[in-house]
Amino acid sequence: MAEDTLSATSITNNLGTRFIGRRVLYYPSLTSTMEVAKEEARQGAVEGTVVIADEQTGGRGRLKRAWLSPRGNIALSIILYPSLSCLSSLIMLASLAVVHSIESTTGLKPQVKWPNDVLIKGKKVCGVLIESDVQRTKVSYSIIGIGINVNLKLADFPEIQPVATSLSDELRKEVSRLSLVRHLLVEVERLYLTLSAGGSLYEEWRSSLVTLGKKVRVTADETVYEGVAESVARDGSLLLRSLDGKLTKIVAGDVTLRD
């Protein structure tokens, strides 16, 4: 059985990062790590503070959905104070950090479904929720929330079984959440430093997208678009080519891949 005890010190000890995960707030159970992280950010918590819970009782997903977050999974939020120019790249940063850390911890090869769902063999293994507070031209804070299905038996959760998977279901053995969290934090810092130094994550994120070239249905602000996911813009928006040839730029939405 993999070493799997999460605590502030087990995550922080010898992590080797400069600021991400130097301060960790661990909770056995929370409503949502997003709420605690937001309060911490408003109080001026140091950048890189991580709020992590073994279980969330009111986990939140994108587009006002609920996020199932039982024990055995990873549920964490990271507090950042990025510049406005980095803000749109945080979706790229988060999904790439998850892909890299899953790859290096398990050998599995995840892909990204626009904008930042992480899939394994077409099923969702991780969701990312980014909430930012922007005042005029300054970002007050950004919270990156990451939920990964790690040691979860999908057979126990029939409501999501058709569309979701977990690392343990894929590998048929348990995975160390501690090791995965530590890899993830190191990756988040590496990619964040790249962005802060003016580097780009666009090319790598674009090539990790399973969405491009596929027929898709996109729901955005209660409008449904259908067409081919032709490309993504450098700000992370999806460029959708409809049947009538029109190109639509979609900033946020939910994509269903069609055959």
Contact footprint for ligand BTN (CB under 6 A): 32-34, 56, 59-62, 65, 67, 69, 75-77, 117, 127-129, 145-147
3-state DSSP assignment of residue 77 = strand
Please identify, using beta-carbon distances, which residue of 148 and 232 lies nearer to ligand BTN: 148
Report the C-alpha gap between 250 and 121 in whole angstroms.
Answer: 25
H-helix or E-strand spanning residue 103: helix 90-106
For the CB of residue 197, give the shortest distance to ligand BTN in the complex, in Å.
27
Q: Tell me how far, at minimum, the Cβ of 204 lies from ligand BTN, in Å.
A: 21
| Residue 143 exposure: Cα atoms within 13 Å on the Cβ side | 25
Give, in order, the Cα–Cα distances in Å from 253 to each of 1, 81, 164, 224: 39, 25, 19, 9
At residue 167, the 3 state secondary structure works out as helix
Q: How far is the CB of 203 from ligand BTN (least distance, A)?
A: 24
Min CB(198)–ligand BTN separation in Å: 28
Residue least distant from ligand BTN (Cβ): 127
**Best CA proximity match to 204, nearest among 214, 213, 194:** 194
Least distance from ligand BTN to the Cβ atom of residue 95, Å: 10
- The residue among 98 and 191 lying less far from ligand BTN, judged by its C-beta, is 98
**Nearest by Cα to 38 from 135, 142, 128:** 142
Our CB check for ligand BTN shows the closer of 117 and 169 to be 117
* 8 A C-beta contact, residue 151 and residue 175: yes
Q: Which is nearer to ligand BTN, 217 or 241 (CB)?
A: 217
Q: Which residue, 76 or 79, is less far from ligand BTN as judged by CB?
A: 76
Toward ligand BTN, which CB reaches closer, 77 or 168?
Answer: 77
**Alpha-carbon gap, residue 207 to 161, rounded angstroms:** 27
Lookup: tokens for 108:
């599995």
What is the distance between the alpha carbons of residues 31 and 176, in angstroms, rounded to a whole number?
Answer: 23
Min dist. Cβ of residue 33 to ligand BTN (A): 4
